[in-house]
Structure 1
Amino acid sequence: MAIRIYILALLLIPGLCYSQNIDSLQAIYSQYYETALLTVSPSGEYAVLNHHNTFGKNNDVLLDVKTGKSLSLDKHIRYQFLGDDCLLMQNMERSRFMHLKTQQYRDVAGSHIPAIITKSSQILLQNKVAKEAFLTSTDGEELWKASNINTSLFDVNNNRFIYASGDQLVIRELNSHRLKTYTLDSNVQWMFSNDHRIYCANIQATQIELYTLDLQSNQLAKQIIVSPADLEFASSLNNLFEIREDKHFLFPMYLKSKLNDKKNPELIITYSNRSGKDKFLNHHLGIYDLKNGQWDYKPDTKQKLPVYKFLNEKGDFVVYDESGDVVEEQQNVILDLNLILDYGKSSCLLPKKRIHDGNYLWDRGTEQFIYFDQKRWRFHHIKTGADQELLPLGAGGWHAYQARRGSSGLADEPEVKPIHIRNRSAIMLSNQFDYFIVDLKTHQLERITKGEEQQIKYELQLSREQYPKSSWNIGFAEIDLEKEITFKLFNLKTYNSGFATYLHKKKKNDLFQLGHYREIIKYNNGHFFTSHFALEPFRLTKLEKGKYTIVYESLKTEIKDLTGTKYQIFQYQTSYGTANAAILFPVGYDSQKKYPMIVNIYEVQSRDLLYFLPPYLTVTYGFNYLHYLMNGYIVLLPDLQYEIGNVKNSVIKSLESSTEAAKLLAPVDDNNIGVLGLSFGGYETGLALTNSRYFKTGVAGVMVSDLVSHALSKSEFITMPNYMRTENHQMRMKHNLFDNWNTYLENSPVYHMKNINAPVLIWTGLKDKNVPPAQSKMFFLGMKRLQKKAVLLEYTNETHNVFLPSNQLDLNVKIWQWFDYYLKNKRPADWIIPLTE
C-alpha cells in the first residue's frame, strides 16, 4: 500500500492517539536512508557504498559495478582498494585485507594508520598507541614488525621508514628491507627528513638536542639550541617544528611570563582597552640558523598575541598582533602586517590590512604584496612603493556576495581564496562565476571559464596534496597549469550541476553533461559521478567511452511511494532585485485542492534542495520538509533579500513577495500559512510575525529578539562580543548601537510585539552558547505581558541544536502537532490544550 494512503488512513482513524501515529510513521520512515560512495577500485569494477539513517542503519556494501550485485561488509571506518584484487578495511580493532574474488580475508589486530607503498606493492601499518609498525603484503601477510617506537615518519619519496626506539635511530629501506641503526644520547620526540638528511630532536622547555644524520657521509651530529631567557620551547606543538632548506629551524615558543601568570580561579578581570583574546596563549615563532649556530629571527616579545603566516615554502612570512583588535567589532579585522623576508633578513610594514587568509598573498619574484580591499584586488610593490589596482576597473565581482549562507557582504573578503600557479609569477582568481589567470609581471587578466553568461558558477576542484604541508603556511593551494584541472559547475537558477576539465596549453574546456552531480571520481578508463537532490535519492553514474550509465540507484522501491510530490525552483522580484525560491508539493498532489503551506526561512534556504534528506522526526532543528510533504503540506524555501541597516523591511518584502509568487504556482490555502526558522531564521520568524499579516502561526527556534541586548552580550561560541555579529554579520546593522539606536529598535522583533496576532511556538536550549536563551524568553515574556498566545519550550540540557534523540523526537513532533492544530484544524495535542482554554 502506498505510504501516502497508509499515513492518511492512520491519521483519520477516530481516537487514534498521536503516539500511535508516531510509532507507525517511525516504522515507515525507518525504511528510508541516505547513501554515500566511500571509494572505488582503480579499474572501476568495484565500489564501496554506505547506507545510513537516523534509525540505526549504518551498513557498508561492496558493489560489483558490472553485475549490480552487493556484498554486505562488516562495519569498518576506512576502505582502500589495493589494486583490483584486494580491499583494505580498517576500524579501531583491526586492519582487514580481503581478496575481492574469493572474499577470503586476513586480519591484523589493532588500530593502524596505513601508508600504501606503490613501488613495492606493500602496506605500512602504524599503531601509534601500541608504538608498533608492520610491513605487510597486499594480502596482509606480515613481512616485518617493529616495536617500542617513540616517534616515526614514512619517507614517501625515498621509500623508507624512519623511527626512534629508545635511544636508537632506525632507518629501514622498504624495498630491500635493509636496516641501519644509530645510537643517540637521549630519547627523541620529533623527526623530519628530506632527500639528504634526517633530523630528530629531544625537545625540552629550555633546550633542544638536535641530531642531524647526513645520508651521504653517514655522519651523525648533535647540536644544542638554548631558548631565549624570556621564552621556552612549546614542545607540545610537535607539528610546528620544521626545518627548511637544510638550514633554518622553525619552532614555536611560549612567553614564560604568560605561562607563569598566576590568577585567582574565582575571579575574571576584563579590561575595556584590551582585546578579549588576551587570555589566550598564542605561541611565538623562533628561527635558528643551524649552519652558523645563531638566531635568524627572534620574536618581538612585546607582541601579546602574535600570529605568523608563511607565504611560501621559503622564509617569507607576515606577523601581526591580535591584541591590536581592542574593540572586536569586525569579523575580518584590520591590523598592521609586518612582512618578514628571508627568515628575518629584512622586513616591511604594511599598515591597516585585512587579516583573513584569503585577503593577501606575496609574490617573491615580482616583490609584490597582493591584497584585497574595498571589494578590489590591489598590489603594493615593496621596492618602489607603488600601491594601486591590480586589475582593470571593469573587472569586478571579486567580493564574497550576500547570496551565500552566512555571508553578509560586510567582511570585505574575496569570493574565493587566490590560488598560486606553480613556477610562475601568476595567480588564479575567481569572481562570483568564473576563474581568471593574473600575470603578476604584466598585470594581464586571462579569463579561462565562461559561466556568467549562462548563470553558471565554476568552482575549482582541489585535492589535499595541492595545499601546503607545513602548518605554518597560509592555506593557499597551488596548481600546475601543465596538467589538466577540474571544475565543478553549478547553475544558479536551475541548480543543475556537473563538471568540466581544462587544459591551459590548449585553452580548452571539456564539459561533462549537467545533472545533479555532486562528485566526480576518476578511474582507469572513465569516471564515476554521484548525485542526489531534493526528492532524488543517491545515484551512481558511470561514464566510459562517451556513454553515461546509471549503475546504482538507492530506494528504487521506496521512492515510488512519493507519487505526486515534486519541486519547482523559481525566481521572484522585489525592489531589491531577483532571488530564488523553491516550492515543494505534497505527496498525492491534486491541483484542484487547497493545501496549507509552511515557509521555512534562513537566508539562502532554497539550497536545501541540493541534498536528499529522508523523512524522519529527529532533525536537530525540528523540521524535515519531506515529512510535511508526506503529510499534506506545501513547503516554501525562499532565498530572502537583505538591505544593510534595514533587515526588517527587506526580509518582510522578500518574504511576502516570494509567498505571493508561490501562490501563483500552487493552490495554497491563504488562510493557513505558517512560518518557521532556526537561529537567524528564528530572528527572521520574529520579524515576520510582528510585521506581516501573511502568517497564521509561526515557530521560532533559538531566536534573537532584541538587537540592543544581543549587541551588548557576549557569545561563548565565538568568544567575541555579539556586537560584531550584530553590526557586521547576519544582522547587518553596519553601525554601532550608540550611533544608530533607532535602527536597532526598528529591526528588533520584540519592539513590534503589539502588532502580533498569530500564536507562536518558541523553543530554545538552555545550554546554548551561540545565542543566549534569554533572547527566546524575552520574546515569550512579551507575548505573556501582552496576553497573546505563545508556548515556550526550554530544553534544559540542549544547546543551539537538539542532540539527545528523545528531545529531537519531542521537538519535531511538537512542531508538527502545532502546525497540524493551527493550519489543519486538527485536534490539539495535550500540551497545546492549556493555551486554548
Structure 2
Amino acid sequence: MRVFRLLIVWLMLLTGTLYDSQITADIVSRVKEEYKAYGHSAVLEISEDLEWYVLNTEKGGRSRSELYSIHNDIPTILPEAFWFKFLSKRWLIAPLKNGKTYCRNLETNKESRLDGSFKGFAISDNRLLMVNNKSGNMMILDSGLSILWESGTVEVYDVNEQDKSMVFLQNNTLIDLDILTLRKKEMPVKEKFSWIRSSNNRIWTLDDRLRLSVGYKGDSKIKTIDLELPPHLEVFQKDGWQADIREDRYLLLPVAQRKKENKELADIFYTSLSYQYRKKMKQWAVCDIQEKKWQYLPREGDWYRTQKFISDSDFISYDVVSKNYDTIGTPKVDIQLHIDWGRREKHLKSPNTERSHFFYHKGLGRLLFFDKGRWMIEDVEKGMVLPVRMPESTNFLNDKESGLTDEPWDKVELINDETVILTEEYDLYSFNLRTSVLKKLTDGRAKNRQYRLIKEKDFSEASDWVTNKRKCQGQSLMVQFFDRSDFYSGVALITADGKEKWQVKEEAYIKNAKRLKNKVFYTSSFYNKPLKISLVDSGRSGLIRENTTEAETNAFRYSIFQYPDADGVLLDAVLLYPKNYKSGEKFPMVVEVYENKSRAITNNKLPKLNDGLGFNHMHYVHQDYFVLLPQVGFKVGDLENSVTSSVTNVMQEVLKLKDIDKDRIGLIGGSFGGYEVTMLMGKTKLFKTAIAGVPVVDLPSSYLTFGKMRNQPEYWRVEKHQLRMGKNLFDNWDSYLSNSPVYHMKNIDEPMLIWIGKDDDNVNPDQGRSFFIGLKRLQKKAVLLEYPKQGHNITDPLAAEDLNIKVWQWFDYFLKDNPPADWIRPML
C-alpha cells in the first residue's frame, strides 16, 4: 500500500497535477474571502441601570464597536478602544488605541477625545472628572463635554465622590475644590506630602517623614502628628503610597521589614523558603491617631508575614514564604486573626486566605471556611470548629483539576444579616451563620440542571485592605441555570426560602447576565443560534436585539451525546457535522481534546484561519470534516489510563455513525491538550495522524523545572494542577514515568506534527523539542515547527495564520489524500 501511494505521488509530480491541488496561497485567499461573509457579535459592556450596552461585531475581517440603547436599534459607531466602561447612568469612557481617551454623555450624545490616558469619575449627571495619573493633568467636563476647569500638574490628589469634591497638591498649595460649583479653597504648605485623603469634612496628608496632618475643610487650623516607625520597619512605597484612613481615627500604612543592602554576587536560594523570599513583603501597620500610638506593628524579624483585612476593623496575618508554600497551588497556612485594629489576637483553625474560601461575620463572631472538600463553621471566640451538615448526595468541592485545588464552586454571598448562599455542584443552599441551618433552595440535581447566583453588583477585591463584606442580595434571588441534557440555559427568580416566582429558558446559552432589582439583562447564543440580547422584567421577557444576519452562517447539524468513562461516569461529547453532509457519504474527522471541549458548542464561533493554537473547529466544518469535541475523564495519578480509556470509549460511541470514515481520523490538542495528544498517540491506534501544540511530555523534568511565568518551581502544577499526579515525584517514580508521553513514544507509528513558541514562559519549549528529538531518534515520521518570538499562544497575526494553514495542509494530506504541501514533502 505504501509503495502504491508513493508511486501515485511520483506520477503526480511528473504530470504536475500535484501542485494544482495543493492548498496554495490562492486557495487560502479564496477561503478567507468566503469567511468574510460570516459575522459574530458580543456585548462588551452593560451600564449599571441596564439601559445601555456596547456591542462589538466582527465581519469581513473587520471589527467595530457600537453603542445601543435598549429602547431602540439605532447604533452609534464608537472608536477603536482597548475596552469600554460605563460610569453611573450617564457617562461612557474608553482608552483608545491611538493613545487618546474617549468620553461620551449618554443623555446629550456629546462626545470628546482627550489627549492622553485618563481615569474617569462620574460626579453627577453634568460633571465628569478626568485624571491623567501619568502627567498629573486634571479636568472637569460638563454635560456637553466642554472643559469647565483644568489644572496644571497635580502631584497627589484624592476624589471624594460622596461629597463631590477633591483635594490635591499643586505648586506647594493644598487645594480643596468643590466639583459642582468649582469653588476652591487654597492653603499654602511648606512641605510636600506623598499622600492625601478627604473624608467626613476632613483633609488628611502624610509626607515622606511620616508627618501626619489633619484639618477641617475651611479651617486654617492644622493638627500635626509626627509618626515614627520602629527601626526594623520602613514605608513600603511600591507603586506609590497606598495608605488609608478608617473611622477618621485609624491610619493604615503599608510597611516592610528593613533589610540590609544585599552585597552577595550570587542569587541565593534555600530549600526552607519559597522563591518569593527575596521580594519585599508588604505588611500593614495601624496607627490609632486619637491615642497617638501604633495599635499594630509587624514584629521584628517577621520577614514574610502579610496582612489582609476581612472586616472594617479585623484582619488576618499569615506567612506563605517560610513554610515553602510554593509546592502547592492554594497554600494552607497558620492564620492569626487580629480583632479591633489589632487590640486582640486569636489563632484560627481555618487554613485558607483566598477570599472565595471563607466568609467572616464579625457581629456573630463566626468564620465560615472551606477545607478538604467541605464547609466548616468556626466560633472565633471559643475556637470551636464544626462541619456544616451537608446531605450525602451533595458535592461542594469544585471539580477543577479533579478537586485537587480544594476549592468551592463559588464564593459565599450574603443575602441578609445572618444568612449566606453556598453553591453546590448543581444547587444553591442557604446557610444561617447563627443557627448553622443549611437549606436547599433549588432542585438542580434531580433535573440535571446546574444553578448559579446572578449577583446584583460585582464586588471588587483589588487590594488587601478591602473587606469581604458582600452586597446583600435581598429577599429574592436571581439565578441562572444550565441544563446538562441540551446545554441550554435560563434565568429564574426565587425567594430566599426557595420558591420560584418565574422562569425564562432560552434555546441557547446565556452569558453576561446582570441584575438590577427585578430585572435581568443577558445575551444568549449557541452553535445554531445568532446572538440575542434580552431583558427580563419581573418575569416578562423582552427581546432587545437579534443578529439575524448571523443566522445563515450557523445552519449546521450537530449532536450532543453522552458516553461512559472507565468507571461508568457519564461524560459529554459534541459531534459537529460537515457543512455539506449527506447521509451515506464518508467524511474524515478531527478530534480536538483538552478538558471539556464539548462546551465549545455554547459559543457561536466564526470560521477563521488565525487561531492562537492553530485549530478553529468551524473552519473544519466548512471544509467538510466531522469534528468531535469530547469531555475527557481524568483520574488522579493515572492520566495515562483514564485519558486513554475515556477517548477510546467516546470513539467507540461516535463511530456508530457509519458516515465517519474510521480510517481517516486525526487528533489535535494544544497545551494540556498537547499532553493528551502525545499520550494518546503512544497508547492507541485510533488516529491516522496527530498534531500536538506546546505540550508537556516528560513529567519528571517538568516537575523539576523553574517556571518563568509564575517565578517558582513547576512541581505544584504537576501535583495539583492539570497533570493531576496528586503525589510527590520521589514517592511515585513509576507512576510519573508511565504518565509521561515520552515513556510511550516507541509505540508511535503514525506521523505527527509538533509546534512550539520559542519564547513560551508557560510550558518550557524543551518539552515539545524533546518529544520531537525522541521521534527523530526512533526514526519516526514527524515535523517540528518552532515560532520565534512567540509564546504559549501564537499572537503574531502572520505567524498565527501560518500555523493554521500548516495544520490545515497537514490534515488535508493525511485525511483527504490531497497532495502534500511543499514543507511536508521532505518528511515523506
What's the TM-score once normalised by structure 1's chain length?
Answer: 0.89
* CA–CA separation in structure 2 for the residues paired with 1:825 and 1:216: 84
Q: Using a 3 Å threshold, how does the CA distance of structure 1 residues 339 and 44 change in structure 2: closer, same or farther?
A: closer
* Structure 1 contact 538–553 (Cα < 8 Å) conserved: yes
Contact 1:467 1:477 in 2 (8 A): no
Aligned-residue offset at 1:148: 3.1
Partner in structure 1 of residue 365 of structure 2: 367
DSSP-derived class of the 2:645 partner: helix
Counterpart Cα distance in 2 of 1:637 and 1:623: 12
Quickly say closer, same or farther: Cα 1:328–1:28, change in 2 above 3 A.
Answer: same
Partner residue in 2 for 1:268 = 267
Aligned residue runs from structure 1 range 448-459, under 5 A: 448-459=441-452
What residue in structure 2 maps to residue 188 of structure 1? 193
Are the aligned partners of 1:697 and 1:760 in contact in 2 as well (CA < 8 Å)? yes
Report what 2:25 is aligned to.
19
Which residue number in structure 1 is paired with residue 806 of structure 2? 814
CA contact (8 A) 2:349 2:378 kept: no
Instruction: Give the aligned residue type for 1:128.
Output: N
Task: Name the counterpart of 2:387.
Answer: 389
In the other structure, the counterpart of 2:399 is 401
Which residue in the other structure is 2:126 paired with? 121
- Equivalence map 1:251-650=2 (5 Å): 251-257=253-259, 260-264=261-265, 267-314=266-313, 316-326=314-324, 328-350=326-348, 353-392=351-390, 394=392, 396-402=394-400, 407-421=401-415, 424-462=417-455, 466-467=459-460, 471-473=464-466, 476=468, 478-482=470-474, 484-504=476-496, 508-514=500-506, 515-520=508-513, 528-543=521-536, 548=541, 550-554=543-547, 556-557=548-549, 559-560=551-552, 563=555, 565-576=556-567, 577-650=569-642
The one-letter code matched in structure 2 to 1:18 is T
Of stretches 528-537 and 19-28 in structure 1, the one that deviates more from structure 2 is 528-537
- Asked if the contact 2:93–2:120 (Cα under 8 Å) also holds between the matched residues in 1, the reply is no
Residues 308-337 of structure 1: CA deviation (Å, up to 9, x unaligned): 1211111x1111111233263321222211
Counterpart of 1:410, as a letter, is L
Deviation at residue 339 of structure 1 after TM alignment:
1.6
The letter for the 2-side match of 1:27 is E
For residues 643 and 414 of structure 1, the distance between their equivalents in structure 2, rounded to whole angstroms, comes to 20
Q: Matches of 2:18 and 2:75 in 1, distance apart?
A: 40
Distance 1:15 1:216, change over 3 A: closer
- Please report the RMSD computed on the Cα atoms of aligned residues, expressed in angstroms: 3.1
1:703 equivalent to 2:724? Answer no
The letter of the residue matching 1:788 is K
Segment drifting more, 138-147 vs 827-836:
138-147
Deviation, structure 1 residue 832: 0.8
- One-letter code of the match for 2:818? K
Change over 3 Å in CA distance of 1:248–1:666 after alignment to 2: farther
Q: Secondary structure at the match of 2:801?
A: helix
1:737 is displaced (CA, Å) by 1.6
Q: Which moved more, 1:627-636 or 1:342-351?
A: 342-351
**1:334–1:652 distance in 2 versus 1, CA, 3 Å:** same
Quote the residue 1:8 is aligned against. Answer: none
| 8 Å contact kept, 1:108–1:140 | no
Residues 692-728 of structure 1 show CA distances to partners (whole Å, capped at 9, x for unaligned) of 1111111111111111222222211222322211122
> 1:283, 1:89 → 2: CA distance?
32
Deviation at 1:623, TM superposition (A): 0.3
Determine the structure 1 residue equivalent to 2:183.
178
Q: Which residue identity lines up with residue 224 of structure 1 in the other structure?
A: D
Q: Which moved more, 1:649-658 or 1:492-501?
A: 492-501
Residues 157/774 of structure 1: CA separation in 2 closer, same or farther (3 Å cut): same
Q: State whether structure 2 residue 771 is matched by structure 1 residue 764.
A: no
* Runs of 5+ consecutive residues of structure 1 not aligned to the other structure: 1-10
Q: Deviations over 1:36-65 (max 9, x none)?
A: 33456799886542223694x232234476
- Give me the whole-angstrom Cα distance separating, in 1, the residues matched to 2:34 and 2:249: 65
The one-letter code matched in structure 2 to 1:233 is V
1:133 to 138, 142, 149: 138
Aligned residue number for residue 3 of structure 1: none
Asked if structure 1 preserves the Cα contact closer than 8 Å seen for 2:307 and 2:464, the reply is no
State the 1:486 CA deviation.
2.8
Measured in 1, the distance between the counterparts of 2:325 and 2:77 equals: 57
Contact 1:285 1:298 in 2 (8 A): yes
Cα-to-partner distance string for 1:136-187 (whole Å, 9 max, x where unaligned): 3212233333333222232222222222223322222334443222333322
State the match for 1:201 in structure 2: 206
Report the CA distance shift for 1:197/1:651 in structure 2 as closer, same or farther (over 3 A): same
- SS for the counterpart of 2:466 is coil
Deviation at residue 602 of structure 1 after TM alignment: 0.5
Give the counterpart letter for 2:789 in structure 1.
Answer: N
Structure 1 residue 209: Cα displacement: 2.1
Question: Aligned equivalents of 1:768 and 1:42: distance in 2?
Answer: 39
Which residue pairs with 1:162 in the alignment? Answer: 167
- Residues 138 and 230 of structure 1: is their aligned pair in 2 closer, same or farther, counting only changes over 3 Å? same
| Structure 2 Cα separation of the partners of residues 683 and 311 of structure 1 | 40
- Contact 1:239-1:471 within 8 A present in 2 as well: no
Matches of 1:713 and 1:151, distance apart in 2: 44
2:100 — aligned with what? 93
TM-score relative to the length of structure 2: 0.90
| Secondary structure at the counterpart of residue 479 of structure 1 | coil
How many angstroms does 1:247 deviate by?
1.6
1:830 counterpart residue number: 822
Structure 2 regions of 5+ residues with no counterpart? Answer: 1-16
- CA pair 553-288 structure 1, distance change in 2 beyond 3 A: same
**Match for 2:522: what amino acid?**
F
2:454 maps to a residue whose letter is Q
1:570 Cα deviation from its structure 2 partner: 1.5
Contact 2:102/2:111 (8 A) holds in 1: no
Distance in 2 between residues matched to 1:486 and 1:593, nearest whole Å: 48
Q: Corresponding residue for 1:234?
A: 236
1:489 corresponds to which letter in structure 2?
F
Whether 1:785 and 2:777 are equivalent positions in the alignment is yes
Q: Residues of 2 paired with 1:280 and 1:313: CA distance?
A: 28
Match of 1:60 in 2: 65
Show the 5 A alignment for 1:44-55.
47-52=53-58, 55=61
1: CA distance, partners of 2:466 / 2:94: 33
Residues matched between the structures, number? 808
Structure-2 residue corresponding to 1:6: none
Q: Is the 8 A contact 1:562 1:588 kept in 2?
A: no
Q: Report SS of the residue matched to 2:676.
A: helix
Identity %: 28
Match of 1:32 in 2: 38
Distance 2:52 2:366 in 1: 49
Task: Report the CA distance shift for 1:507/1:541 in structure 2 as closer, same or farther (over 3 A).
Answer: closer
Q: Read off the aligned partner of 1:93 and give its amino acid letter.
A: K
* Cα distance in structure 2, aligned partners of 1:83 and 1:786: 64
Q: Structure 1 stretch 539-548 or stretch 448-457: which is displaced more?
A: 539-548
Distance in 2 between residues matched to 1:416 and 1:165, nearest whole Å: 46
TM-aligned CA deviation for residue 781 of structure 1? 1.9
Q: Structure 1 residues 336 and 107 mapped into 2: Cα distance closer, same or farther (>3 Å)? A: closer
Aligned to 1:152: 157
Contact 2:197 2:203 in 1 (8 A): yes
Q: Secondary structure at the match of 2:42?
A: strand
